[in-house]
A = this chain, B = another copy of it.
Amino acid sequence: MEESRPLDVAQQLTSTGDMDPEDLRRYGHQIVDWIADYLKNSRQYPVLSQITPGSIRLALPAKPPEQPEPMEQILADFEQTLMPGLTHWNVPGFMAYFAITSSGPGILGEMLSSALNVNAMLWRTSPAATELEQVALDWLRQMLGLPKPLFGVINDTASTGVLYALAAAREAIPDLAIRQKGMAGRPELPRLRCYTSEQAHSSVEKAIITLGIGQEGLRKIPTDSEFRMDVAALERAIEEDLAAGWRPFAVVPTIGTTSTTSIDPVPAVADICERYGLWLHVDASYAGSAAVNPDLHWILAGCERADSLIVNPHKWLFVPIDCSVLYTRKPDVVKAAFSLIPEYLRNAESQGDEVPNLMDYGNALGRRFRSLKLWMVLRYFGQEGLAARIREHLRLAQLVVKWVKETPGFELLAPTPFSTVCFRVHPQGLDDEAKLDALNERVMNRVNEAGHFFLSHTKLHDKYTIRIAIGNLHTNEQDIRALWAELQNYAQSELKVITSA
């Protein structure tokens, strides 16, 4: 399409408007074809980018473009310069952290949202976006088997959601007037404490820091042999803190912890929260989505008693990032923590309670039309289709578990309640922990360098642990078998390096 260039630029130089819709149509078709081909052939890309730090930066001009540039050239540079520097997340070989999927219906939804560019801050600034958000989140609630009423809003990430939830928890503490008076320089205030487990996601601690409660205001409760919060230890900690003059205010158990996907005993934690008057926030960011499979409704046991709960459809429900759902049974408290309506945002509907203005339920004012992609994904797959996909990921994970258990020289390091397998290479006779750590790190790096798969690690009981996180819709049994073959292969070759060192 070389001939289009001068035209393109000439139009830009004389127009003060947008790209001509016919040009947008032409490039849009070109990009749709590129996307379809990319997803079709995604096994050809090295999953983890192998470039050296700084090389993309150096390959791009240091000075900004003065004149308009032809879209053909921009797309060519995207392909030639940027693509080699991308780590590919939406491919079958991505099994690091938690594998996610931008599914077809999700991509289509994002296309529409980006063209509409609506901001769902107030009901009136896009009634359909506000009401669809409420409807889609009520559908998801039903799919997860949770009782109503449950108010939901979509945020960008679970880090944002837990920040809002714990801000609400802080607001719910009676008589402290923190919203108005703040916390500093008030000798009458007690020190505040929130509780989570040693295995909780770092976002809980970040939220506590941001809220001004401080790292010492988060107490990390030990976990049992299966990495679940020790509820007796939680209760002891609360009693100790009360005796020492702390004010406990919230507990954050996790359903599907980041390292091992463990399930904290939420019902028992809920008992304690009720007894001591604490806000119960459940972090089900990763695993919550699995409950769309009715066989797994049990994983959310106790969540019907939670004050707030996070489930991320962008994690394991095939919705493109970002789409993190914060549910709460106390929307009034969340609103009390955040609502602030300046004159320029007042309108007839902002006075009453007939419709929500979703900006009232968090710190961010602007809100993308994220419910559209969620709605399209829920409908396109349907609950049964979504459940079938979750079941398939569970099946693939159990295959890996079986292989790890059956194969000498491999060792499972945690239970596998969902689709993430934690294991290590552990050759018979090699029991030096430092050497085992080094061996496993080398094996994982070899896999990552080979380019077919991307794995990440954690540490469990101080042991270097390799994780296989299955969750991308394109991953199939052949991929898992190929990964397992690679792991066995590198385990052998790297063992030689380690033992000869």
Contacts and interface: CB of A to CB of B under 8 A. Distances in A.
Given A108-B71, A111-B114, A116-B88, A101 B18 contact: yes
Contact of A181 (B214, B318, B338): B214
A82 B128 contact: yes
A301 to B, nearest CB: 21
Contact of A57 (B18, B57, B134, B365): B134
Nearest to A177: B214
A302 interface: no
A484 interface: no
A13 to B, nearest CB: 7
A168 to B, nearest CB: 11
Interface in A32-83: 32-40, 48-49, 51, 53-57, 60, 62-69, 71, 74, 78, 81-83
Given A110-B114, A185-B189, A459-B343, A131 B380 contact: no
A55 B69 CA distance: 45
Contacts of A82: 128, 132, 372
Given A16-B389, A53-B123, A180 B365 contact: no
Contacts of A223: none
A94 to B, nearest CB: 9
A322 B372 CA distance: 16
B104 A90 contact: no
Nearest to A337: B209
A481 interface: no
Contacts of A28: 32, 35-36, 107-108, 111
B363 A128 contact: no
A389 to B, nearest CB: 5
A217 interface: yes
A206 to B, nearest CB: 5
Contact of A102 (B117, B179, B184): B117
B16 A388 contact: yes
A193 to B, nearest CB: 10
A174 interface: no
B179 A128 contact: no
Interface in A354-376: 354-355, 363-366, 368, 372, 375-376
A447 interface: no
Contacts of A74: 105, 375-376, 379-380
Contacts of A389: 16-17
A341 B134 CA distance: 35
Interface stretch (A156-164, A232-240, A273-281): A156-164
A12 interface: yes
Given A159-B363, A189-B185, A212-B213, A102 B87 contact: no
Interface in A229-269: 245-247, 258-259
A500 interface: no
B16 A54 contact: no
A321 B110 CA distance: 12
Contact of A342 (B34, B49, B108, B202): B202
Contacts of A313: none
Given A68-B380, A74-B380, A103 B18 contact: yes
Interface stretch (A138-146, A303-311, A487-495): A138-146
A49 B127 contact: yes
A147 interface: no
Nearest to A156: B156
A28 to B, nearest CB: 3
A491 B64 CA distance: 47
Nearest to A208: B182
A78 to B, nearest CB: 7
B364 A156 contact: yes
Contact of A160 (B119, B343, B364, B473): B364
A31 B112 contact: yes
Nearest to A200: B342
A178 interface: yes
A368 B322 contact: yes
A29 B32 contact: yes
Q: Which 3 A-B pairs have the closest CB atoms?
A: A182-B214, A19-B104, A212-B212
Given A13-B384, A101-B117, 13 more contacts: A13-B385, A21-B36, A57-B135, A64-B139, A68-B381, A82-B132, A87-B125, A89-B118, A102-B117, A110-B111, A182-B183, A210-B210, A258-B344
23 contacts: A24-B108, A25-B32, A48-B124, A49-B126, A55-B131, A57-B134, A64-B139, A66-B382, A68-B382, A78-B372, A89-B116, A102-B115, A107-B111, A107-B115, A110-B110, A178-B184, A181-B215, A182-B214, A184-B217, A206-B340, A207-B363, A210-B338, A321-B366
